[in-house]
Structure 1
Amino acid sequence: MPTVPPATLLIQTAFIGDVILMTALLEYLHHTEPATPVDVLVRRGNESLVAGHPHVRHVLIWDKKHRKYAALWDLLRQIRAAHYGRVVTLQRFASTGFLTAFSRAPERVGFSKNPLSGFFTRRVPHAIGDGTHEVERNLRLLNEELGMKNEELTDASNSSFFIAHSSLRAASKPRLYPSAADEATAAAYAAGPYVCVAPTSVWFTKQYPEEKWLELLAALPSGLRVLLLGGPPDVAACERLAAASGRAGVENLSGKLGLLASAALMRGAVMNYVNDSAPMHLCSAVDAPVTAVFCSTVPAFGFGPLSPISFVVETKEKLACKPCGLHGHGACPLGHFRCAHSIEVGQLLESMISG
C-alpha cells in the first residue's frame, strides 16, 4: 500500500478574491503532487469557496471577528497537531506568518516581506506593479521557476523544460467547482440571453459610479435580461439601481445567491460587467466572459481578469493621480474621481461586440 505524503497547508485569510486566486495553487499541486493531501486555511465567511473543492482535504477557518487572537493560538495548536510537511502562507502579515513560522512543519514558505519570514525555510520575493499577475507571484511559493519570464526559462534551460513549465503555468489558473445544487440554483435564473452586472465594491474608488451603470443599462440591447449580483451588503445599492433604471427585465439577485452559484450563473452570461473586485475573479475561475472596469487601480498591480474572453476598461485620460493606491479609498483623494467618471459607457459596450 503506497505511503501518503505529509499534507500541505495553504494559508490565505484575506478577502474573497484572494482566496479565488489561491485556488491556482490547488490546481498546480494536483498536477505535480496528486498524492499529497492539501488543506486550506481561510477567514470565516470564505469557506464556501473551497468547502467542496475536489483538491482540498480539509478547510480550517479563522474567525477574525470573535476572539481573534485566542482563535489564532487555537489554530496554531491545530496546525501543529496535524504534522504538516509543508505550510505555505500567501500573505505578508504577521498573523499568518506566525502560524507558518511556528507550525513545526519541515517546510515553511512565504514571501520575504512577511515580518516573520526569518523563521521560514524558504522566502520568496514579492513585487507589485511590474505587470506580474498575483497568480504568478503565488505560484513562485511552490516553484520559483514558475515566476520566471519566458525568455529567462528559454535562456536557462532546454526547449523541453521550457515547454513543460509553460504548459504547467497555463494549467495552473484559478478554478472553482460549483456543486450540482449551485448549478441548479443558477439554472433557475438563466433562461434566455442575459448579462450579469456586479456594480458594487468594498472600496468607493474601485466602483464605477451608479449614474454610469444606469447609462449602461439604458444602452444594452432591449432583448437582454440584466441580473444584478452582489452579497447581502449590496442589496440596497442594487435595488436602487434596478428601480432607477426603469428597464424591463432587470432582476436584483444580490444577497440571494452564494458565491459558487453566482459563478455558475456568470459562466452562462453573454457578458459580465464588474469592477476590479471579487466578481471579476469569480469569472476567471469559471472561464466566464468578463468586462472589468478599473477606476483608481490598474491591471499592472497583477489582479486583472484571466478568463479566455476578458476585457479591461479604463479611462482614456492621462491622469497623473492614477493609480492612487493598491486597494482603494473611501473617497477620491482629490475630490474629482476622474478615473471613473471619464470612462465612457461606449467602452463597455465595445467588449460585447468584440466578445
Structure 2
Amino acid sequence: MKILVIRFSSMGDIIYTTPVVRCLKTQLPNAEIHFLTKPAFKYIYDNNPYLDKLLLLKSELSETIAEIRAEGYDYIIDLHNNLRTAIIKLRTGIKSSSYKKQPVRKWLSLKLRLKLVEPVHLVERYLKAVKFLGVTNDGKPIDYYVKAQHDLKKLLPATHQDDYIAFVIGATHFTKRMPNDKIISICRKIERPIILLGGEDVKANGNEIASAIGGNIYNACGMTTLDESVFLVSKASKVLGFDTGLTHIAEAFNNPIGSIWGGTVPELLGVQPYMVKDAEVIGVELSCRPCSKFGLEKCPLGHFKCMKDIPDDVVAGFANRH
C-alpha cells in the first residue's frame, strides 16, 4: 500500500500532521508513506524516521500532479482541503480522504462569539481522515528531530546554560505578540535565567527587553538558526511562548509549556499544547476575544486588553514553579 499525505502550510499546521504520519507507518507497517508540502516547510520532515519520501510542491501544479501520478498511490490523505488539493484529487483520480475544516462553524464562532466548534485538537481532527484505514491515535506527542547536536556552550553565555526559561517572543501577527513593556514586567518576576528566542524581526524587541532587565536575560533573537533555536527549546527547563511555530515545535520535547494567547484562541483552531505533561494555556476572557482566527496587524478596538490584561503573576508563577 502506498499513501500520500498532503499539507502545504503553515508551520504549526504541518507540525500537527506528524502524529498522522507516525500512526500510519507504525500501524500499517507494510505501507509506504509519502508527504507533500511546500519547499519552505521541508525542514519539518527532515530526519523523520516514519516518512519514506518527501515531495515538494512545484511552481506549476501540473508538474506536481504528474509526479503524483507517476508514484502510483493507493490513497491520498488530504489534510489541507483547499482548491489546490481538490484539483490534485480530481485530476489524479486517486481514492482520497480529507480533513474537514468546518469553515462555516469557525466563521460563525468568530463573528458571533459562539462556541460552535468542538474543542478537539487539530491532531484528532486530522486522524479522523485515516480512521477508514483502521488507524487510531497512539497517544504520543508530535515529532520533531533536531538536525545536529549543538553545543550549549557555543550558543549561550555560561550564566544561561542551566535551568533556563526559553521565552519565544516572536509571532507573525501583532495581536499574537505581547508588548515589550508587558514582557519586561513579567520577566522581572521570573527567578530563572531567561533566553529570548525569535527571528530577526524581533531582535530589536529582544534588545529592548534585555536592556531593561539586565543580566538575567540573554537575547538570542536573530542570533540562532531555526535548528539551533529548536535545540535551545529542547534543553529549556520551561518554555513560554505565543501562538507561533517554535512554541508548537517545543511540544515535541514534552517540556513544561506556558502557552500565551492574545487575540486568537486555541480552541477555535484546535492547537492547544498536545500531549504535553505540564502545559498551561494562558489568556483572559473578553467579550471581544477572539478578534480573528489567525491574528491581525493591530487591535481592532485599540486597547489590546487580551494581552495587556494577562496577570504577570500567572505567567511568572508558571515559570518559577518547580
**TM-score, normalized by length of structure 1?**
0.78
Q: SS at 2:35's partner residue?
A: strand
How many residues are matched? Answer: 305
- Tell me if the contact between 1:83 and 1:104 (Cα under 8 Å) persists in the aligned partners: no
Unaligned segments of structure 1, at least 5 residues:
116-126, 147-163
Partner residue of 1:97? 86
CA distance in 2, matches of 1:247, 1:42: 42
Unaligned segments of structure 2, at least 5 residues:
104-114
Q: 1:29 aligns with which of 24, 29, 37?
A: 24
Cα gap change, 1:57 to 1:114, in 2 (>3 Å)? farther
Q: 2:99 aligns with which of 95, 107, 111?
A: 111
Alignment deviations for residues 125-147 of structure 1 (CA, whole Å, 9 cap, x no partner): xx97321110100010101699x
CA shift at 1:205, angstroms? 1.0
1:218 and 2:206 aligned: no
What is the 5 A alignment of 1:1-355?
5=1, 7-62=2-57, 68=59, 70=60, 72-105=61-94, 107-112=95-100, 129-143=117-131, 168-171=137-140, 173-179=141-147, 181=148, 183-185=149-151, 188-189=154-155, 191-221=161-191, 224-243=192-211, 245-301=212-268, 302-306=270-274, 307-315=276-284, 318-354=285-321
Report the residue type matching 1:314 in the other structure: G
CA shift at 1:96, angstroms? 2.2
Identity %: 22
- Tell me if the contact between 1:207 and 1:275 (Cα under 8 Å) persists in the aligned partners: yes
- Tell me if the contact between 1:53 and 1:176 (Cα under 8 Å) persists in the aligned partners: yes
CA shift at 1:24, angstroms? 1.2
Q: SS at 2:22's partner residue?
A: helix
CA shift at 1:253, angstroms? 2.2
Q: SS at 1:54's partner residue?
A: coil
- Tell me if the contact between 2:35 and 2:55 (Cα under 8 Å) persists in the aligned partners: yes
Q: SS at 1:321's partner residue?
A: coil
CA shift at 1:255, angstroms? 3.4
Alignment deviations for residues 19-75 of structure 1 (CA, whole Å, 9 cap, x no partner): 111111122112211221211112222111112111112222226xxxx4x2x2211
**TM-score, normalized by length of structure 2?**
0.86
CA shift at 1:209, angstroms? 1.6
Give runs of ≥4 in structure 1 deviating > 6 Å.
Answer: none
Cα gap change, 1:293 to 1:113, in 2 (>3 Å)? closer
| Larger RCO, structure (CA 8 Å, separation 6 or more) | 2
CA distance in 2, matches of 1:42, 1:185: 31
RMSD of Structure 2 on Structure 1 (CA): 2.5
CA shift at 1:231, angstroms? 2.8
